[in-house]
Structure 1
Amino acid sequence: MKNKILLIFLFLTAFVFGQKTTFKIKYSEQLAVFVFLQNLSQDYPENVFKTEFQQSKYNIEKYKAIISKFENLSLDYSFRFEEYPYGSKKSMQTEDILKKNLIETENLNDFKLRTIGFIPNKTLSDLAESILEFTPIYNELIYNPNKEKFEKQLREITKYSNEQEIEKYFETGLLFYNSNWDSSIPFIIAFYPLPNSNGFTAQAFCNNFISAIQTDLGSYKDLFSVMLHETYHIIYDEQSLEVKTEIDTYFKENKSKCSNYAYQLMNEALATTLGNGYVYGKLDGKIDTGDWYNKKYINLIAKQIYPLVTVYIDEKKPIDKNFIDNYIRLYEENFPNWINELDNIMTYRYVLSENKNDENTIRKLFRYRSRSEFEDQITESSIENMQKTTLTKIIIVSKNNTEKLKLIKNKFPELKNWKINADKEFAEKILLNDKSQLILLNQKKSTIEDLLKLIKQQ
């Protein structure tokens, strides 16, 4: 009997892990109302949801107060997975968990039961109450006027996904990235309507993809290629610690001065090559000859590495040392000056400044960012925290200049022979031994923007 039970268990285990991941497409009212509330918040730019609400009978103090209360809720906490190489794995974000639980529960009581412990109980209760209050408002203003078109579209999208066997591109990504996924966990895709708009939104997290779609979207090639792009970020994130450590080692052992910034760019580059290049080409029958991404650096490197990636896909080979070395070589041969261009290297930044306003200034000057950290003290400890990363290091000295510059010089071996004049304004850029750029601004009267212009002129 024991042997029979063991054989049944082994069979079921093999059956589960032999299955492919399933994609489930749905509409989530709870998620849609949550996103609706986010878009009504004061800090959000003008959008179709805000316009519909402001023109409605609900634009009164009672509901404005609920919106204000909602936008003041602290929902986004995070923690890093410290054992993974820095930047190789996304931090856990409680807002992702909230959205996941909104999608995967059928009512707000179940949502609260599943979510308790991730955020404070009072915050969770207030969040659920806000969603409850705004559900009929959302339905009246957004969902019901678009219900017929949207539900027809949802059926068409589901049919298209089945006909194109979209799951197979997920499996392609798992093999290429040498990543992991438990096939018993479905990938759940939640759509909601985006009226009076062109295009769609896209976000992926955990085992979910969410998208607001225009109600007259006629072609689904772009939608699914972008969906797979975002999904490949998840697959990359789910690589094992062993795989991520190996990849990190390959980059650090490579002798190219470009290896660090090639590494910083790789996640977006691969997702774009696979999603916007490979998947779109398969769905359309030909490669898209236009831009694949609206950022120059990602678009150009993605197209450059496309032949290399497709060879690995065709040969069913996962990323290895040879792939990483060739990727870095293509980066250096074709774009050798990218490691000096601020629009590129400021995408990945760690800023030290004793003027807290400098964080906003840097954000305005370089809005697009992949990873960004800021500390408002220039101390031995803060410099050491900065040195643990391979992000671009920006230190802005505007107080106690002589003392601070001496500290900086002593903390960076590359500055051993550096001659400084603390009384004179300057802007320096130095490629460090970890192949990240150190940008040092000694500020007296000039603005940060003016000092950074000096860097661009170098």
Structure 2
Amino acid sequence: MKNTLWLIFLLLSSLSFGQNPSFKIKYSEQLAVFVFLENLSDYYPDNIFKTEFQKSKYNVEKYKSLISKFDQLSISYSFRFEDFPYGSKKTMQTKDILKKNLIETDNLNDFKIRSAGMIPNKTLSDLGECISEFTPIYNELIYNPNKEKFEKQLDEIQKYSSDHEIENYFKTGLVFYDSSWDNSIPFEAAFYPLPNSKGFTASAFCNNFVSAIQTDLKSHKDLFSVMMHETYHIIYDEQSLEVKEKIDTYFKTNKSTCSNYAYQLLNEVLATVLGNGYVYAELEGKIDSGDWYSNKYINLMAKQIYPLAKEYIDQKKPIDKNFIDSYIQLYETNFPDWINELNNIMTYRYVITENEKDFKVINKMFRYRSRTEYEDQITESSIEKMKHTPLTKMVIISKDSKEKIKLLKNKFKELENWKANPDKEFVEKILLDDKSQLIIVNQKKTELETLIKSINEKSK
């Protein structure tokens, strides 16, 4: 009997992993209402959802209080996969899981049952209440006026996906990234209408892709190249620990001074190369001659490595040491100054300061950020923690300079012969042995923004 059960299990497993990955395209009302509520927040800039709500009969105290209540809900908790190399695997976010559950359930009761234990039950109940109250409002103001156009768009998107066998690009990514996927888990794409818009937004998490689409969308190739871009982030994230460790080793053993910052750029560059480069070219019949990404570092590096990536894709070869070494060489040869450009290196930052206002200054100066860590105490332990990350390290000293400089010198051997006058204002940038930049700011009277901008002047 045991042998029979084992054979059945093996058969089911082989069927599960042998089938092709499936793409499901749908509209999720629950997710759409959640996004609607997010956009009504005071923390969000002006947008079409907020405009429609504010001029409606629902812009009264009862519903404004519910929006405020929604804003106050603590639904974002996170944890890292500590056994993976730093930054190589996305930190798990409870908010992503909640959105996944909104997409994959048909009603709020099932959503709450599936999500129980992820966040406090009172918070989950309040979240359900907010979504329930705003569902008819969303439908009246947004969905119903755009229903006919949107549902036609959704049908066209589903047909385009089927006609162009979009799942094959998913398989291409699995091979290229040397990643894996249990094909019994469908990849679900949830769309919702974005009226009076010239563009669309997109994100991906777990096994889900989410996008708002303008109701007069014309270019499906643009939409699907962006969709696959976001999907490739998931495939990169799903690389095994063994593959992650190999790639990490390839970068860390490479002797180029650019290897660390090339590594920080890798995830976004590869998603751009495959999604906005390869997939777009396959769907359109030619390479997109415009920008592939709005960030210049990602855009230029993606275009630089496209021939290399295309060669690997065509030969069905996964990323290997030769690919990583060639990628780093292309970075160093074509963009050697990038490791000194603050707009690049501050995308990946670890900032320690004892003045919390400094964080706002940093965020204002460097809005584009991929990975950030902030500490509000300059101590031996905080410096030690920062030291063991590959991020750009910025320490802003505004008091007790002599003591804080001594702490830094004790922790970084690269500062052994560094001479600094604690009584004078200064900014120093030092390339560490791990090939990350250490920026030390000793602030007295000058505005922080002015001091930081002086780093660029020194680098010229």
Fold shared by both chains (TM-score > 0.5)? yes
The residue aligned with 2:237 is: 237
The residue aligned with 1:298 is: 298
Q: CA deviation at 1:16?
A: 1.8
**Residues 249-270 of structure 1: per-residue CA shift (max 9 Å, x gap):** 1100000000000000000000
The residue aligned with 2:347 is: 347
CA–CA separation in structure 2 for the residues paired with 1:3 and 1:56: 66
SS of corresponding position for 2:439: strand
SS of corresponding position for 2:394: strand
**Residues 19-40 of structure 1: per-residue CA shift (max 9 Å, x gap):** 1110000000000000000000
**Residues 265-296 of structure 1: per-residue CA shift (max 9 Å, x gap):** 00000000000000000000000011000000
Superposition TM-score, scaled by structure 2 size: 0.98
The residue aligned with 1:169 is: 169
> Aligned ranges for residues 33-44 of structure 1 at < 5 Å?
33-44=33-44
Q: CA deviation at 1:187?
A: 0.2
The residue aligned with 1:130 is: 130
CA–CA separation in structure 2 for the residues paired with 1:156 and 1:228: 17
**Residues 418-452 of structure 1: per-residue CA shift (max 9 Å, x gap):** 11100110010000000000000000001111111
Q: Tell me the amino acid that sits aligned with residue 194 of structure 2.
A: L
SS of corresponding position for 1:382: helix
CA–CA separation in structure 2 for the residues paired with 1:62 and 1:434: 55
SS of corresponding position for 1:355: coil
SS of corresponding position for 1:202: strand
SS of corresponding position for 1:352: strand
Aligned pair 1:149/2:144, yes or no?
no
CA–CA separation in structure 2 for the residues paired with 1:362 and 1:376: 13
Q: CA deviation at 1:3?
A: 5.8
For structure 2, the 5+ residue unaligned runs are none
Q: CA deviation at 1:219?
A: 1.5
Aligned pair 1:401/2:401, yes or no?
yes
The residue aligned with 1:116 is: 116
Q: CA deviation at 1:4?
A: 5.7
Q: CA deviation at 1:17?
A: 1.1
Aligned pair 1:219/2:230, yes or no?
no
Q: CA deviation at 1:10?
A: 3.3
**Residues 53-106 of structure 1: per-residue CA shift (max 9 Å, x gap):** 001000000100000000011111101110000000000001100100000000
The residue aligned with 1:179 is: 179
Structure 2 CA distance for partners of 1:333 and 1:110, relative to 1, 3 Å? same
> Aligned ranges for residues 225-304 of structure 1 at < 5 Å?
225-304=225-304
The residue aligned with 2:330 is: 330
SS of corresponding position for 1:343: helix
CA–CA separation in structure 2 for the residues paired with 1:85 and 1:9: 34
CA–CA separation in structure 1 for the residues paired with 2:6 and 2:377: 60
**Residues 354-391 of structure 1: per-residue CA shift (max 9 Å, x gap):** 00110111000000000011000000000001011010
Aligned pair 1:308/2:308, yes or no?
yes
The residue aligned with 1:17 is: 17
Matched length: 458
Q: CA deviation at 1:454?
A: 1.5
Structure 2 CA distance for partners of 1:450 and 1:2, relative to 1, 3 Å? closer
Aligned pair 1:196/2:196, yes or no?
yes
SS of corresponding position for 2:201: coil
CA–CA separation in structure 2 for the residues paired with 1:144 and 1:453: 50
The residue aligned with 2:81 is: 81
CA–CA separation in structure 1 for the residues paired with 2:132 and 2:283: 40
Taking only the aligned residue pairs, the percentage that are identical comes to 74
The residue aligned with 2:414 is: 414
**Residues 120-139 of structure 1: per-residue CA shift (max 9 Å, x gap):** 11100000000000000000
Structure 2 CA distance for partners of 1:356 and 1:286, relative to 1, 3 Å? same
> Aligned ranges for residues 67-78 of structure 1 at < 5 Å?
67-78=67-78
For structure 1, the 5+ residue unaligned runs are none
The residue aligned with 2:423 is: 423
Q: CA deviation at 1:12?
A: 3.1
Aligned pair 1:385/2:385, yes or no?
yes
Superposition TM-score, scaled by structure 1 size: 0.99
SS of corresponding position for 1:181: coil
Q: CA deviation at 1:402?
A: 1.0
SS of corresponding position for 1:429: strand
SS of corresponding position for 1:222: helix
Q: CA deviation at 1:143?
A: 0.3
Q: CA deviation at 1:7?
A: 4.5
Structure 2 CA distance for partners of 1:4 and 1:70, relative to 1, 3 Å? closer
CA–CA separation in structure 1 for the residues paired with 2:338 and 2:327: 15
CA–CA separation in structure 2 for the residues paired with 1:162 and 1:89: 31
Q: CA deviation at 1:408?
A: 0.9
The residue aligned with 2:373 is: 373
> Aligned ranges for residues 98-113 of structure 1 at < 5 Å?
98-113=98-113
CA–CA separation in structure 1 for the residues paired with 2:413 and 2:406: 12
Q: Tell me the amino acid that sits aligned with residue 344 of structure 1.
A: N
| CA RMSD of superposed structures (Å) | 0.9
Q: Tell me the amino acid that sits aligned with residue 332 of structure 1.
A: E
